[in-house]
Amino acid sequence: MGEDMDRAVDVVVLTMNDRHTEFRDAMASVLAQKGVSLRTVIVGNGVEPDYVPTGAVSVALPENTGIPEGRNVGAQALAGPDAGEFLLFFDNDAILPETDTVARLVAEFDQHPDAAYVQPRIADPATGETLGRWVPRLKSADARRPGVVTVMAEGIVLIRRADFEAVGGWPGHFFLFHEGIDLSWRLWDLGKTGWYAAGVEVHHPATNPARHGPFYRMVARNRVWVAYRRLPAPLVPVYLAAWTLISVYRFRSTGQLGVWFKGLAEGLRGGHGERRPMSWRTVWRLTRSGRPPII
C-alpha cells in the first residue's frame, strides 16, 4: 500500500431521494477514487436514503434540517478515533471526473500548508463552463487561475477536519445559502487560509440557485446573519449597505426585490445565533488577500 493510501478522507453526501440517476453516478465517481482511503456517509435529509453504496454508512434525519446542518450531522457520524484527516463535502449531483481527483486535492494541502480548505474548479460537464459564483474570489473571469481565496463554493470543498472541528463546523441554522462565508471567515480567523486549486476539475451541472423557492429571502437574511455573527461592529453597517446596493442591482429585474427586503428585515430582527467577530488582524489578512470583508 502506497504512502498516499494513508491519507484518510471522510466524504459527506446529502440526499432527499430526488436525484435517482445523478446520485448514483455521483457515488460511483466517489467509490472509484484511488490513492486515498475513503469513508462515506449518506445523510438522508428528512428521508431514509434509498441508496447506500456498499461500505458506506447512512443517517436518516426525521426532517429536512437544511444543507449545512445535514453536513454537520454527516461529519459527526464519521467522527471519533477513526476520523479522517480531511472532510470532503460533496453535492449529490456532482462528479469526480478522474480517479485521482481527491488525491490531487489532498496533495494541494501539502503544497499549501496554511490552507484550512481547498476548493477545486467546478465546471459544467456538458459545456465546460465555470460559473462566476463557483470561483471563490472577486475577479472570477479567469477560472483557471489558482490562488489564495477567502470564501468557498460550498457544494464541493475539502476541509481539514481538525480546523473544521476547531471552529464548530457549518452554521447549521442557516439552512441554505452563505454558510460558506461564515465558515471560511472562521477558518481564516484561526490564522489559516483557503486555496483555489484551479487545476483540479470537478463536474457539477450549471443550475440557477434561484430555482429554490426561498432563495431571495434566505440570501438576504443570511447576509445579515453573517455580518452580525462575524464582523467587527463598525463593519456591519458597511457590509449590509454594500450588499443592499449590490443585490438591488442584481435582482432589480426579477420582480423579487420585495421578497429580498422581507428577508433583510427578518435577518435584522435576529436569529443569527452566536456573535464572535473576527479580529482586526483577520480583517487585514482578508483585505490583503484580495477581498475585504465588506463586499
Domain membership of residue 157 (yes or no) is yes
CA dihedral of residues 15, 19, 23, 25 (deg, nearest 10): 180
Share of the chain above pLDDT 70, in %: 98
Cβ within 8 Å of residue 137, ≥6 positions away: 147, 149, 150, 151, 196, 290, 291
Report whether pLDDT(1) > 50: no
Residues 187 and 149 in one domain: yes
Domain membership of residue 285 (yes or no) is no
Domain membership of residue 38 (yes or no) is yes
Report whether pLDDT(32) > 80: yes
Q: How many domains does the chain have?
A: 2
Indicate the residue type of 155: G
What's the pLDDT at 46? 97
Rounded-to-integer distance, Cα 22 and Cα 45, Å: 17
Domain membership of residue 287 (yes or no) is no
Report whether pLDDT(207) > 90: no
Report whether pLDDT(93) > 90: yes
Mean pLDDT rounded to a whole number for the chain: 95
> How many residues can be counted in the chain?
295
Residues 145 and 14 in one domain: yes
What's the pLDDT at 119? 97
* pLDDT tens figures, 268-288: 999 999 999 999 999 999 999
Reference 206, options 91, 290, 111; nearest CA is 91
Range of the domain at 249: 213-277
CATH number of the domain where residue 11 is located: 3.90.550.10
Residues 169 and 224 in one domain: no
